[in-house]
Structure 1
């Protein structure tokens, strides 16, 4: 049976199943830690605040602060244990997908995610020690993680979007939007799901969805890259020194084979991408803890509403990318507006002390996802098709690295500052947006920009040798990228 070249169902169902558990894990850990530290049942309320059912007096404030600190440190330990394996596997799998095929970078992370969700279900059902989840995080990271999965999917889309330009930008932004919409639908249901059947129901549903999407990826999704066994690839599989050498060689050639101006552009865009990701991921990772804390003290229903509203950012960001692209706006301008949107939104969160204010804080950050899609597309257009895997491996590596480092740093700072000002970390995230904004200014000063035409720019420089058997490259439009 002939397969389908549709990676969108994989991304959609993966986003839905993952976000069924993502908002619930910190809540589950929070409740278990509350029970351990206070020897009492976690205060569950039908009201808009769990603080109303908490014990009165100074003990209430002490318990909330203590549980906040312990939950933040738990998140930190989880990030540290999963960081190193996930980084290495992401770099290896996505770069190797240039030769072994994109599905290797899609299927393995799906299997790891399913393994972690089954561990959640087991710990929840049997009331095992909550710290076993740290071991589950480490084990699942050996299969890669979200960065590996998205790197493989974005490279898959880049293979199919041979024309590049606006088409590639919109399709990559479309994947981001799909992640947002499906994760929003999942997040909206988590609170009601949790209240109706407890934690086991969402975890079981998530595992079933992940098993289904894994079967689709293995048996239905068509490969876009033919396996190259006769030209130095490791025919025995992913293991071995040859695969590792090939991985680093592909990334090295991507930079070494480019001209100085193109290399400068690629490095600047990569720095903008990582610095913006650092501020974005670090701050978003603490939203649930911030909402559980005083004075908000949100219930699981409100957390579900908040998470769903946050994911509409993906929809508005896609609409923004489509509108600005249609109007022929500079891609650098689109990136700048996204950075400013994040800074404004995090500043609003830092000063949100009531439920309406916390909901309204999502409005200024409605365009904050735009830079990711645009920057990925810009970098993809300036390298050759045979190097897409190496590029997205590097991007995924950078994204996973910054995500883990920023989450660790922000969780540490939150634990240290939660007693005197919980909103400090969000002000810090807003301040860190100065870095990608400054780098964006450097790109403008150097006169390097990406044109908004429909055509794609060729990625090869004149001095890069043409591989044997490659089709002749058309360099007529290569100067569209560089001004």
Structure 2
């Protein structure tokens, strides 16, 4: 009996329950915010201008999201770097717990906006609180640092993909129920129940992280051996010559940033595109659409499990990038709900690149630098978003009359460009393996 209790307690001290609780709460919040923005922007633009009501509504929504996303991405940069530094000095839970406080305050802000019928712009203050606490930038880097510490270099790609699977599964469940919860009647205001549940889950997640989460480090003799050369887990026997690690780091950063621009920009516009005719989704359809995005976590995980046995990590990244590129190109021509799901089905492996890139990056540094390395990648994403968020928004608004899906074709092109530095990493790894064989002989 004592052994069983110890086993259960050990499970509850791991990072996985935090990931599940946080993502369940986040999925509920995303649907709530999307529907509140739609309702407020519809009320604000129905009283007429020279342009069509539909276009004015789309521009009001995209303008709100542009400001909201910029605040969310700009404010965490410095706090996330400071939190990562604390994490690398031994305070591993700080980069996770602090952002959860920001999440809780942000969700409370939306609840107050609904209950008190406050202005939608108050959500910008909530986004600022979220960002100043480190935001997702710090939270996810902190999670990945703990995962890296708790896994060997050989198994790290699979472990990180398993974490992504849990994240996606929780998001899938949360999205499926979110639309139904939003429509539950409340005398205070529609969406109150949904946001209240989301806020409560964040509170539970915060308390759990403070009291139960435990940092565990697995000794890894291979971690200083450099980048894995192939998908079978072979690890170089010596550090690569000529400082090639730095070049590989730069190439992986470049490929990751380009892919993040393509995915991040497209997904930001997609939440507005779903509210446009001919789709014009309600809360339930929004929840199901978000759930379709989280199914990709499952298919990406299965893809890694199957394909990692026969292809390299670099090839996995390229497969994932091309999967997203084809899917988002098809999204440009979506005019009905069933076509949306067809486009999503083409993105089966779109979640493979990022965890695999993080895994490769983590193998270039010592365990004491995991936090700062991974947070540097997240900060690079945030800096890039300061350019692509307003650019995508303005391009989308200017193309509403002639081709609303043009922005998705642009993402497809950027995805293809992102495959170039990743392919260069693959070529360098082949050359290095040949060098090592010669040295071994």
Q: CA RMSD in A?
A: 2.5
Structure 2 partner of 1:274: 257
**Which residues of 2 match residues 320-359 of structure 1 at below 5 A?**
320-325=303-308, 327-359=309-341
Number of the residue aligned with 1:175:
163
CA contact (8 A) 1:73 1:415 kept: no
1:406 Cα shift? 2.8
Query: CA shift at 1:83, angstroms?
Result: 2.8
1:152: Cα distance to partner? 0.2
What do residues 267-290 of structure 1 show as CA deviations (whole Å, max 9, x unaligned)?
111111111111011111222211
**1:175–1:405 Cα change, 3 Å:** farther
Structure 1 pair 450–18 and aligned structure 2 pair: CA distance change class (3 A): farther
Q: Counterpart in 1 of 2:63? A: 73
> Does the C-alpha gap of structure 1 residues 8 and 133 become closer, same or farther in structure 2, counting only changes over 3 Å?
same
**Who is 1:36 aligned against?**
44
Higher mean displacement: 115-124 or 288-297: 288-297
Q: Does 1:395 align with 2:403?
A: no
Q: After TM superposition, give the deviation of residue 428 of structure 1 in Å.
A: 0.5
Q: Which runs of 5+ in 2 are unaligned?
A: 1-5, 218-239
Q: Is the 8 A contact 2:21 2:201 kept in 1?
A: yes
- The residue number in structure 2 matching 1:459 is none
Q: Structure 1 residue 403: deviation in Å?
A: 4.0
The alpha-carbon deviation at position 184 of structure 1 amounts to: 1.2
Q: TM-score w.r.t. structure 1 length?
A: 0.79
Q: Alpha-carbon deviation of 1:425? A: 0.7
The aligned counterpart of 2:128 is 138
Measured after TM superposition, the shift of residue 81 of structure 1 is: 2.6
Rounded to whole Å, the distance in 2 between the matches of 1:446 and 1:365 is 28
Deviations 1:299-351 (A, max 9, x none): 222221111111100110011111112x2311111111001001100011101
The residue number in structure 1 matching 2:212 is 220
Secondary structure of 1:286's counterpart equals helix
Where 1:433 maps in the other structure, the secondary structure is helix
SS class of match (2:274)? helix
1:447 shift after superposition: 4.2
Please identify runs of 4+ aligned residues in structure 1 that moved more than 4 A: 1-5, 447-451
Q: Contact 1:331–1:450 at 8 Å: present in 2 too? A: no
Alignment of 1:426-441 (within 5 A): 426-441=408-423
Q: 2:390 aligns with which of 408, 420, 425?
A: 408
The within-5 A match list for 1:121-136 is 121-136=111-126
Residues 101 and 224 in structure 1, CA contact (< 8 A), matched pair in contact too: no
Aligned partners of 1:450 and 1:274: how far apart in 2? 25
Q: Which moved more, 1:195-204 or 1:149-158?
A: 195-204
| Pairing 1:296–2:285 present | no
Separation in 1 of the partners of 2:31 and 2:393? Answer: 16
Q: CA deviation at 1:20?
A: 0.4
In 2, Cα distance between the equivalents of 1:156 and 1:140? 22
Q: Matches of residues 111-126 of structure 1 in structure 2 within 5 Å? A: 111-126=101-116
CA–CA separation in structure 1 for the residues paired with 2:241 and 2:202: 40
Tell me, yes or no, if structure 1 residue 152 matches structure 2 residue 135.
no
CA distance in 1, matches of 2:70, 2:358: 26
Give how far 1:404 is off.
4.7
Q: Which of 352, 366, 386 lines up with 1:370 in the alignment?
A: 352
**2:189 is equivalent to residue 193 of structure 1:** no
- Note the C-alpha offset of 1:260: 1.6
What residue in structure 2 maps to residue 260 of structure 1?
243
Stretches of structure 1 lacking an aligned partner (at least 5 in a row): 41-57, 226-256, 452-477
Provide the C-alpha distance between the structure 2 equivalents of 1:450 and 1:177, rounded to a whole number of angstroms: 32
Deviation of the 1:258 alpha carbon: 9.6
